[in-house]
Amino acid sequence: MKRLLAAFAGVCAAVLCALAALVAAPPAVAATLTEVTNFGSNPGNLRMHLYVPNNVQQNPAIVLAMHTCGGTGPGFYSSTEFASLADRYGFIVIYPSASKKMNCFDNWSEASKVRGGQTDPVSLMSMVTYVEQQYHGDPNRVYATGSSSGAMMTNAMLALYPEVFKAGAAFMGVPFTCFPNEAAYNPAGNSSPCVGKTAQQWGDAARNANPGYRGPWPRMQLWHGTSDTVVNYAELEEEIKQWTNVHGLSQTPTSTDSPQSGWNRRRYADASGTVQVEAYTIQGAGHSLPAGGMAAVAIQFFGLTGSGPSQSPSPSAAVSPSASPSVSPSASPSVSPSASPSNPQQGASCRITYRANTWNNGFTADVTITNTGTAPVNGWTVTWTWPGNQQIVGAWNAGITQSGAQVTARNVSYNAAVSAGGSTSFGFQGAYSGSNATPAGFALNGAACTTA
């Protein structure tokens, strides 16, 4: 009996100790919003707040979440559900704060309508690059979303940097290049400023920001309330015109439905069935989006919930998600071409035009190959050597491999042939530290090219 009592006492003591340990254990520390002050080039004079969940993925997706006029990044953090969704799915959220015109993002200046313009979009790109480098953010999973002024900037970022952003969700926005100048930027005083252009005109406005871009365009989700008196509901149709035209789609939806009461959804799918554009009409809603549950729909559209589109568009050549801009130059991120050149012609006469758009520690570059010879080139390989520590992290219109400072770009299936006197182009996104100097020379199929 004594042995039984002693054993029982020992069990009780062990249970009590375990309970005491549980009581004494400190609670898990919740992730918090943190301000980043030295994120890179910041011509827009923006502030950056960052939310990194405790369960952040090893190579996390990045969501750029932008507030309304008069708002702030911390305000958008506390008033929307993107942070709680980040806790659930492990992505990182960037919350920028605007500084111009009552804290509106610059959607009116000429600089805001061109790549590399010295205003808000460059500052926002610096934030994205910072997260890619410091947190190994996945450059193949970068997304933008925003409300009102932030929605307008969402349209702008996807048009200006289509190779960077894979999708966007714009709540109560207007098309890219809507406002001709700052005086026109007064949505409340002119609630339908962008009605009247054709789909072709709106599409051209986006394409003209990247005349050499031939890669896939980001998918777009659009939201608007029918009773919005600040940015009129009519602007939703203009946005639909712009993005369906950019994707080469009809303005007639491929499907319509009502996911829940008061929500009417139109979807615009491509020939493969992938929804490239979808538009939500919220019956009776004013200038108050996103409301409850809408952020989750946007994150699902991005493909971050594990139940996104059956086919997620990606560049014809892109690094694997495990690659990051912070890998050392000795690493060799591989961008596999969909077709290698067959019988590349040696000794072809050529001219290479190289144009880089640089921000702090990140850049994109457009490369144009001109065949200055008298015979066509059937299959091409362009090679060069970086003068610094540049590292390619994504590409379009070419398959690119890098070993140390040596880079090789090969044609893909649809641009292998370059006629005599003709040209083709490709591009890529990269990262660097120090200076982003231009390569000293390029070669086409082993023969040195002139540069322009």
Residue 181: alpha-carbon gap to chain centroid: 25
pLDDT at 427: 82
Give domain status of residue 22, yes or no.
Answer: no
Q: Mind listing the pLDDT tens digit for each residue in 66-91?
A: 999 999 999 999 999 999 999 999 99
- 46 and 177 part of one domain: yes
Among 309, 200, 315, 320, which residue's Cα sits nearest to residue 248? 200
Give domain status of residue 369, yes or no.
Answer: yes
Q: How confident is the model at residue 343 (pLDDT cuts 50, 70, 90)?
A: very low
Give domain status of residue 8, yes or no.
Answer: no
Q: Residue 21: is its pLDDT beyond 50?
A: no
Q: For residues 233 and 307, which has the higher predicted lDDT (pLDDT)?
A: 233
Question: 214 Cβ partners below 8 Å, 6+ apart?
Answer: 396, 397, 415, 425, 426
Active site residue 148: yes
299, 314, 329: which is the final residue of a domain? Answer: 314
- 58 and 177 part of one domain: yes
Tell me how far apart the alpha carbons of residues 306 and 164 are, in angstroms, rounded to a whole number. Answer: 21
Q: For residues 452 and 57, which has the higher predicted lDDT (pLDDT)?
A: 57
Under DSSP, is residue 218 helix (H, G, I), strand (E, B) or coil? coil
Question: 287 Cβ partners below 8 Å, 6+ apart?
Answer: 148, 172, 225, 228, 229, 230, 231
**Locus of tokens 């809408």:** 294
- 408 and 306 part of one domain: no
Token pair for 259: 């996911």
Residue 380's domain is classified under what CATH number? Answer: 2.60.40.290
- 158 and 44 part of one domain: yes
pLDDT at 234: 92
Q: 114 to each of 58, 97, 208, how far by Cα in Å?
A: 33, 21, 9
288, 314, 340: which is the final residue of a domain? Answer: 314
Contact indicator for 421, 363 with CB cutoff of 8 Å:
no
Contact indicator for 443, 382 with CB cutoff of 8 Å:
yes
Token pair for 108: 């009116």
Give domain status of residue 341, yes or no.
Answer: no
Question: 133 Cβ partners below 8 Å, 6+ apart?
Answer: 324, 325, 326, 361, 362, 431
Q: Mind listing the pLDDT tens digit for each residue in 97-147?
A: 999 888 999 999 999 999 999 999 999 999 999 999 999 999 999 999 999
Total tally of structural domains belonging to the chain: 2
Q: Which of the following is catalytic: 147, 148, 149, 316? A: 148
- 41 and 117 part of one domain: yes
- 286 and 354 part of one domain: no
Average of per-residue pLDDT across 248-264: 94
Residue 237's domain is classified under what CATH number? Answer: 3.40.50.1820
Give domain status of residue 290, yes or no.
Answer: yes
Give domain status of residue 336, yes or no.
Answer: no
- 84 and 198 part of one domain: yes
Give domain status of residue 16, yes or no.
Answer: no
* Mean pLDDT, rounded, of the chain: 83
Q: Residue 338: is its pLDDT beyond 60?
A: no
Q: Give phi and psi for 258, each to the nearest 5.
A: -125, 95
Domain extent at residue 135: 33-314
Token pair for 351: 């001219």
pLDDT at 334: 36
Tell me how far apart the alpha carbons of residues 24 and 97 are, in angstroms, rounded to a whole number. Answer: 40
- 310 and 354 part of one domain: no
Give domain status of residue 344, yes or no.
Answer: no
- 178 and 229 part of one domain: yes
- 64 and 211 part of one domain: yes
- 364 and 424 part of one domain: yes
Average of per-residue pLDDT across 28-53: 91
Please state the three-class secondary structure of 219-271 as a single string. Answer: EEEEEEECCCCCCCCHHHHHHHHHHHHHCCCCCCCCEEECCCCCEEEEEEECC
Outline where DSSP puts E strands in 360-416.
Answer: 362-371, 377-378, 381-385, 391-396, 399-403, 406-410
- 268 and 411 part of one domain: no
Whole-prediction pTM value? 0.66
